[in-house]
Structure 1
Amino acid sequence: MRRPLSRLCLFLFCLLPVIALASGFPQLGRLADKGFLISAEARLIDESKVLGAIEPDRQLSPASVTKSYLAAAALDRWGPQHRFATRLVSEARPTSDGLLSGDLILDGGGDPALTTEDLWRLAQRLHQAGVREVEGRLLISQWRFGPVECITTDRCQARERSANAYSALLSSAGVNYGSWCVSVAPGDAPGQPARVAGCDSQAAVLEIDNRVETRPDNSGTELRAERVTRDDRDIMVLSGQISTNARPRDIYRASSDPAEQMAVTLLAMLEQAGIQVRGGAETTLAEPPAVSRTLAEVESKPLQELLLRVMNYSNNFMADVLALNLVETPRADLRQGGAAIETFVAGIPDHGPLTLFSGSGLTTENRTSARGANALLESIYYRPSLFPSFVATLQSPGNGVMRFIRRGSPTFQHHVMLKTGTLNQPVAVRAVSGYFRTRSGRWGVFTVLVNGTGSTPYLSWPEVLDPLSVDLERIIDTH
Structure 2
Amino acid sequence: MAPLLLLGLSFGTPALVQAAGLPTLQALADGRFDISAEVRMLDDGRVLGELDPRRSLAPASLSKLYIAAAALGRYGPQHRFVTRLVSDGEQRGATLHGDLVLDSGGDPAMTTERYWTLVEQLAARGIERIDGRVRLAQWQFGPEPCGVADRCSARDATMSSYDARLSPVAVDYAAWCVRLLPTRPGAPALVGGCFSSRPLVAVSGEVNTVAEGQPTRLNARRTTANGRDTLTLSGQVSVADGPQSVYRSASDPAQQTLATLEMLFAQSGIRVARGFAIDATPPPAGARELAAVESPPLQMALMDMLNYSNNFMADVLTIGLSASQPPSLASGAAALERFVDTVPGHGPVSLASGSGLTPDSRTSAHGLVALLDAMYRRAELFPTFVSAMQTPGNGAARFIRRGDPLFQRSVMIKTGTLNQPVPVRAIAGYFRTSSGRWGAFAVMLNGRAATPYLVWPDVLQALSSDLTPLIERY
Can you give the 5+ residue segments of structure 1 that lack an aligned partner in the other structure? 1-20
2:465 alignment partner in structure 1: 470
1:315 alignment partner in structure 2: 310
Can you give the 5+ residue segments of structure 2 that lack an aligned partner in the other structure? 1-17
Equivalent pair of 1:210/1:239 in contact (CA under 8 Å)? yes
Equivalent pair of 2:72/2:381 in contact (CA under 8 Å)? yes
Write out per-residue CA displacement over residues 69-109 of structure 1, whole angstroms, 9 at most, x where no aligned residue: 1110000000000011111111102112x211111111122
Q: 1:42 to 1:100 in 2, by over 3 A?
A: same
**Stretch moving more, 347-356 or 453-462:** 453-462
Equivalent pair of 1:184/1:194 in contact (CA under 8 Å)? yes
Between the aligned partners of 1:242 and 1:63, the Cα distance in structure 2 is: 33
* Corresponding residue to 1:287 among 282, 288, 308: 282
Equivalent pair of 2:323/2:331 in contact (CA under 8 Å)? no
2:37 alignment partner in structure 1: 40
Between the aligned partners of 1:320 and 1:473, the Cα distance in structure 2 is: 34
Write out per-residue CA displacement over residues 47-87 of structure 1, whole angstroms, 9 at most, x where no aligned residue: 11111111111000111111111110000000000011111
CA RMSD of aligned residues (A): 1.8
Q: Max radius of gyration: which structure?
A: 1
Q: Letter of the 2:46 partner, please give it.
A: K
Between the aligned partners of 1:217 and 1:79, the Cα distance in structure 2 is: 49
Between the aligned partners of 2:366 and 2:307, the Cα distance in structure 1 is: 23
Matched, 1:405 2:400: yes
Equivalences for 1:246-325 in 2 at 5 Å? 247-325=242-320
* Corresponding residue to 1:211 among 197, 203, 206: 206
SS in 2 for 1:29: helix
1:77 alignment partner in structure 2: 74
SS in 2 for 1:27: helix
Equivalences for 1:45-444 in 2 at 5 Å? 45-96=42-93, 98-187=94-183, 192-215=187-210, 220-243=215-238, 247-444=242-439
Q: Letter of the 2:149 partner, please give it.
A: T
Q: Letter of the 1:64 partner, please give it.
A: S
Q: Letter of the 1:232 partner, please give it.
A: G
2:13 alignment partner in structure 1: none
Task: Report the CA distance between 1:223 and its aligned residue.
Answer: 2.5
Normalising by structure 1, we get a TM-score of 0.92
Task: Report the CA distance between 1:130 and its aligned residue.
Answer: 2.5
Q: Letter of the 1:90 partner, please give it.
A: S
SS in 2 for 1:126: helix
Task: Report the CA distance between 1:214 and its aligned residue.
Answer: 4.3
Task: Report the CA distance between 1:244 and its aligned residue.
Answer: 5.8
Normalising by structure 2, we get a TM-score of 0.92
Equivalent pair of 1:92/1:100 in contact (CA under 8 Å)? yes
**Stretch moving more, 320-329 or 43-52:** 320-329
Between the aligned partners of 1:434 and 1:246, the Cα distance in structure 2 is: 34
SS in 2 for 1:89: strand
Q: Letter of the 1:163 partner, please give it.
A: M
Q: 1:410 to 1:300 in 2, by over 3 A?
A: same
Task: Report the CA distance between 1:294 and its aligned residue.
Answer: 0.9
Between the aligned partners of 1:398 and 1:216, the Cα distance in structure 2 is: 32
**Stretch moving more, 123-132 or 257-266:** 123-132
Between the aligned partners of 1:319 and 1:258, the Cα distance in structure 2 is: 16
2:28 alignment partner in structure 1: 31
Q: Letter of the 1:385 partner, please give it.
A: E
SS in 2 for 1:398: helix
Equivalent pair of 2:178/2:247 in contact (CA under 8 Å)? yes
Task: Report the CA distance between 1:255 and its aligned residue.
Answer: 0.5
Equivalent pair of 2:177/2:246 in contact (CA under 8 Å)? yes
SS in 1 for 2:120: helix
Between the aligned partners of 1:31 and 1:193, the Cα distance in structure 2 is: 46
Task: Report the CA distance between 1:417 and its aligned residue.
Answer: 1.2
Q: 1:190 to 1:440 in 2, by over 3 A?
A: closer
Q: 1:200 to 1:164 in 2, by over 3 A?
A: same
Q: 1:270 to 1:382 in 2, by over 3 A?
A: same
**Stretch moving more, 75-84 or 435-444:** 435-444
Between the aligned partners of 2:25 and 2:466, the Cα distance in structure 1 is: 7
Between the aligned partners of 2:323 and 2:376, the Cα distance in structure 1 is: 27
Between the aligned partners of 2:320 and 2:79, the Cα distance in structure 1 is: 12
Equivalent pair of 1:185/1:246 in contact (CA under 8 Å)? no
Write out per-residue CA displacement over residues 401-421 of structure 1, whole angstroms, 9 at most, x where no aligned residue: 222121211221122111111
Equivalent pair of 2:420/2:450 in contact (CA under 8 Å)? no
Q: Letter of the 1:259 partner, please give it.
A: A
Task: Report the CA distance between 1:23 and its aligned residue.
Answer: 3.8
